[in-house]
A and B are shown apart, each in its own frame.
Chain A
């Protein structure tokens, strides 16, 4: 079924190949999809989101940054992701509580 495991070359080659053509293919797909969906706000939204989501994880340097926040809101120890083309985000400075919890689905 063509599955491979993480460190195997096959997966890496797949990712590299995909990333090198991602933008052109996304735009071609967008044009086709625009014609195909032709209306319907959610469908149009899905199209937009799909094109946005086609940035393959990590392969374009578009990885999101995360910063640590202390229990007192102090962010002096925050850090950010530093992939080759990612732009570090400013460290948080507010002292409010978290607004959401990410965990296993309940």
Chain B
């Protein structure tokens, strides 16, 4: 615990805004150095939008056994675990589906409006088609399968970055990557206060719904922010593996607190995909969640606290 005001720094990495908060202000630089190192390595390993990344090499070598780094192997295992525990609702083989919908480059450079595109209802290949041998350090994809680790790699990066930064700084650290948050080390008094909304770029305000966590992670997935239009069709980045198309369900935004940012983000993505089944699944998993429906109505699930007044 500390009585000093935390220090914060903002930036961009992995195609999203970043925010680093450190309980001891004089340790900010040390924490930032450690965080930046992790994010750079994750980008090199996991970015689908970099031609020189490991994941791009793996995708382009489908049908062949490819040697991969321990870091990509860990990220891929996290992605496959997310698929397993969500019954396939969070599936890393959505890469080609995302590309077909037009999400084929960093979102910062993605045209907001474009010509009509042809979309087909077609299930994604499925996570069980991916072969990972962590001991040998190899992975294999069938031909035609493209991985996108976006649903989990950013959260994984947040967990790694928070852990690394807290160690480097010897202080409590919060890392937010596009609103997916991981905390590590001793929290500030009262816990890490996090404003919950639908857009991670919203200004911090003491008038919005706020929760506090002591450890672990908190993540939000939303269909309302990363959107683009092709012809007359509005698209977004959360793919339903059963259709290969952007989810068209009852929830537009889901926020979850969990033991790690990876778990939280896995659950938020699953909640959007599962739709009507999300509440039962979140309650079965005992994951506190805040769901926002198409009309903006908020449901609080599995112990998510009511809004304080």
Q: Report B-chain residues with C-beta under 8 Å of the C-beta of A47.
A: 70, 74
Interface residues on B, range: 35 or more
Residues of chain A lying within 8 A (CB to CB) of residue B17:
106
Partner of B306, one of A79, A91, A96: A79
Do A67 and B305 form a contact, CB below 8 Å, given A47-B70, A92-B212, A104-B221?
yes
In the complex, the answer to whether B181 meets A100 with C-beta atoms within 8 Å is yes
- Contact assessment for A83 and B280 in the assembled complex, using a CB-CB cutoff below 8 Å: no
Instruction: Please state if B260 and A75 are interface contacts (CB–CB under 8 Å).
Output: no
Contact A53 B278 (CB under 8 A): no
Chain B contacts with A in 244-260, Cβ cutoff 8 A: 253, 255, 257-260
Flag whether B293 is at the interface (Cβ < 8 A).
Answer: no
Nearest chain B residue, comparing its CB with the CB of A105? B178
The residues of A that contact B309 with a CB separation of less than 8 Å are 70-71, 77
Q: Name the CB-closest residue of A to B93.
A: A1
Within A36-53, which residues are at the interface with B (CB < 8 Å)?
A: 36-37, 40-43, 45-50, 52-53
B138 to chain A, nearest CB (A): 11
Please encode chain B, from 53 to 93, with 1 for each CB lying within 8 Å of some chain A CB and 0 for all others: 00000000000000001110011011001001111110100
Residues of A within 8 A of B212 (CB): 66-69, 75, 78, 92
Looking at chain A, what size class is its interface with the partner chain?
Answer: 35 or more
Residues from chain A with Cβ under 8 Å of B96 in the complex: none
On whether the beta carbons of B226 and A105 are closer than 8 Å, the reply is yes
Cβ contact of B305, chosen from A37, A50, A79, A98, cutoff 8 A? A79
B contact residues around A102 at 8 Å (CB): 176, 179-181, 194-197, 200, 218-220, 255
Q: Are A83 and B286 in contact (CB under 8 A)?
A: yes
Known: A43-B74, A57-B285. A103 touches B202 (CB 8 A): yes
Chain B residues near A68: list those with CB within 8 A.
Answer: 209-212, 305-308
Known: A5-B87, A100-B19. Is A69-B189 also a contact (CB below 8 A)? no
- In the complex, A104→B221 CA distance in Å? 5
Confirm or deny: B154 has a beta carbon within 8 angstroms of a beta carbon on chain A: yes
Contacts of A101 in B (CB 8 A): 176, 179, 194-197, 199-202, 204
Closest A residue to B177 using CB positions: A105
- Cα-based distance from A15 to B286 in the complex (angstroms): 12
* B294 touches A (CB below 8 Å): no
**Complex: how many Å from CA A94 to CA B91?**
40
Asked if residues B159 and A53 are in contact (CB atoms below 8 Å), the reply is yes
Which of the segments B24-32, B97-105, B111-119, B261-269 contacts the partner chain?
B261-269
Q: In the complex, what residues of A have CB within 8 A of residue B75's CB?
A: 46
Known contacts: A62-B259, A77-B308, A79-B305. The answer to whether A6 contacts B198 by CB under 8 A is no
Q: Mark A10-37, 1 if CB is under 8 A from B, else 0.
A: 1110110010000000000100110111
State the CA gap A25–B74 with chains docked (Å). 15
B255 closest partner in A (C-beta)? A102
B309 to chain A, nearest CB (A): 6
Contact B280–A53 (Cβ < 8 Å): no
A73 to chain B, nearest CB (A): 8
Verify B134–A93 contact, CB threshold 8 A.
no
Q: Are B126 and A3 in contact (CB under 8 A)?
A: yes
Contacts of B154 in A (CB 8 A): 105
Q: Shortest beta-carbon distance, B181 to chain A, in Å? A: 5
B168 to chain A, nearest CB (A): 10
Question: Are A6 and B21 in contact, CB atoms less than 8 angstroms apart?
Answer: no
B280–A7 contact, CB under 8 A?
Answer: yes
The interface residues of chain B lying within 8 Å CB-to-CB of A56 are 85, 263, 285
Given contacts A12-B284, A78-B305, contact A1 B202 (CB under 8 A): no
- Residues of A with Cβ closer than 8 Å to B? 1-8, 10-12, 14-15, 18, 29, 32-33, 35-37, 40-43, 45-50, 52-59, 61-83, 86, 89, 91-94, 96-106
Closest 3 CB pairs of A and B: A6-B277, A104-B222, A92-B190
